[in-house]
A and B are shown apart, each in its own frame.
Chain A
Amino acid sequence: MCQCCAEKKDIYLPELATVMDAKAMNVTERYLRLAMDDGPFDFVPGQFVEVSVAGIGEAPITISSSPTQNGGFELVVRKVGNVTKAIHNLNKGDKLGIRGPLGDGMYPVDEAKGKNVVFICGGIGLVPQRSFVNYVLDNRDDYGEVTILQGTKEYDQRLFTDEVAAWDKRDDVQMLETIDLPDKRWKSNVGVVTKLIPMIKSELKSAVVLVCGPPVMYKFVLMSLEEHEVPHENIFLNLERKMKCGVGKCGHCQINSTYTCMDGPVFRYSDLATMPEAI
């Protein structure tokens, strides 16, 4: 092989990691804690990895833990297809392949310092947001008021219930939760996540707002934030797209001219003005 290729690493080649811990969170979501077999793993909240199950394929999955927490990194995987199903079969001690961390569009961990921070999460959107939530809570003095909004379709789909309960108990966090289609076990807010926005106690106009949820959610959340006069520069959206390579080559993740895997998955709303396909 020529010198220039021999010196460069193969951008498609996964490195091995070991499952340190794995458990079912509910019927469709599985929690995994991983550690790389070789070397350190540094990342910023919002970044993702390509998870490889040999023989099945790869899937992009956001890191759910905060870099402030030691002992590997955490993923939460929803079973929807071949690769995610195979990930669900992994248990403690099993090996899997990891590429990453990937994505230059991360959460604005520094920019948000000194400001109020508002997390708006729909369903599994809590999983990526949790990385930044815990980052903020581990550096609590650096940030202003912290508000977390979580909307879930059904009671049994609620994620990280212990952690959410612990956030709710803190007096330096406003935790609001709602369920679309509740049953009698649920005694709190009912309806979609946008219903919680008027209940935010801290000043919203000057806050940094982070949004992650299913594609349909963004339009409604943005409409509501518009009403509350939140500047587009202060809103950050975590966008999902189909991904195959994660390194800016395969073309699947393109939103107009932007490669979500390279410049995302977290985008500043004002930057989306030139990307009509984004929302």
Chain B
Amino acid sequence: MSVKKIAKKDFVEFVETLIRKERVFGVQAKGDRFDFAPLESAQDLRLDYDVTLQPPKKFFQPPAEVLMTFEVGGGYQSQYDDEPFVLLGVHPYDMVAINQMDELFSQDNYDTHYMTRRNNATIVACDVAKPSENVFASSMGTAVVKSGYDVLLTDIGDSYVCEAATEKGEKLMAAAKKAVPADDAALKSREAVWAKNKKGLNRHELKCDPAYLPKLLAKAYKHPVWEERAKTCFSCGSCNQVCPTCYCFNVQDDVNWDMKTGKRERAWDGCLLDGFTKVAGEHEFRKQRADRFRHRIYRKGMYVPEKIGGQIACVGCGRCVAACLPDIANPVAVYNRLIDDLGIG
């Protein structure tokens, strides 16, 4: 597949043509922050963003989605969101998270709802140009990404290096008429960006190789840190909401006004919320805040990794750090505390 170079002003033109042809979502300013939203003008695209408020998971697993419609007393009919779209500006750590979600939703039982959206997406990733306040992707090995995207953009000053990694990506980039094959200097500049990000996206520094985290957690189940931190937890679930690798959901029926038809919907849920494990008879399996707090950290550092070949399910985006009012959610703070107490090895 091809690696090209495109001047920034020509890139804007290319995005304009894309918008006219396709359904495009891209990163835009939202107040003094950034978020993914439908892109109406190429001028609004902000590839120099630090981090988006919401991760791009909403394009594959929306906050609420219709799984099926039904007739009361009759049959069920699957519903799909089946329209191709282009996603512009996914950062490497978020791309890694999407790759993990792809694996989780397709393994064992193939989730056709998630995968239909995923297969409809053309993802244009972009390397981080400006580190966010809480990013620690360098610690998690997610500061650069090598797979999953269709196109990868790297800002090298006056132009972007654009690597088309798939057929879809090639097709998309074919519309960039003014792109030229990337020369050695451009490729070198790209290497430099990668080298810089591998070290520089590190506002919180994990004191171990992420591969060690499952082993660390294996001896930390009864550690006081869970109780200590969870003491001030609001059980608000914000850390779940903003996390690109949280995908737990709830399912609910909704009857239409005619009382004859309706829909079954799924919506984001969060393991930190009180009641997440509550069954009839008022029995709740993770009743204590500390139990739920620990569960989230274990999911990121041990449970989900068991399902995806050892990859750690925290990609270091730092969103939960910013979202947590009592400032207890930061996974690095938890892991480092455990390392201090329990040592490495």
Contacts and interface: CB of A to CB of B under 8 A. Distances in A.
Interface of A: 1-2, 4-5, 8-14, 16, 52, 54-58, 78, 80-81, 84, 94-95, 97, 214-215, 240-242, 244-245, 247-252, 254-257, 262, 276-277
Interface stretch (B35-43, B243-251, B332-340): B243-251
Interface stretch (B102-110, B128-136, B145-153, B172-180): B102-110
Given A54-B253, A244-B250, 5 more contacts: A12-B68, A54-B74, A55-B253, A56-B253, A257-B303
A262 B285 CA distance: 18
A245 B251 contact: yes
B249 A249 contact: yes
26 contacts: A1-B80, A5-B80, A5-B115, A10-B68, A11-B110, A12-B67, A12-B266, A52-B76, A54-B71, A55-B72, A55-B262, A57-B251, A57-B252, A58-B251, A80-B280, A81-B280, A94-B73, A240-B279, A242-B277, A242-B285, A244-B269, A249-B111, A250-B248, A251-B248, A252-B248, A255-B285
A52 B112 CA distance: 20
Contact of B110 (A8, A84, A250): A8
A84 B70 contact: no
A78 B302 CA distance: 36
Of B70, B116, B251, the most chain A CB neighbours within 10 A belong to: B251
B251 A248 contact: no
Contacts of B76: 13-14, 52, 54, 97
**How many B residues are at the interface, by size bracket?**
35 or more
Q: Give the 7 A-B CB pairs with smallest separation, nearest first.
A: A251-B248, A80-B280, A257-B303, A2-B119, A54-B70, A247-B109, A10-B78
A249 B247 contact: yes
Contact of B249 (A97, A240, A244, A248): A244
Contacts of A57: 251-253, 264
Given A55-B72, A55-B262, A242-B278, A251 B251 contact: no
B306 A257 contact: yes
A244 B71 CA distance: 21
B64 to A, nearest CB: 14
Nearest to A11: B109
B300 to A, nearest CB: 12
A254 B119 contact: no
Contacts of B234: none
B112 A8 contact: yes
Interface in B28-79: 67-68, 70-76, 78
Contacts of B303: 254, 256-257
A195 B116 CA distance: 55
Contact of A249 (B78, B109, B221): B109
Nearest to B82: A1
Contacts of A241: 277, 279, 285
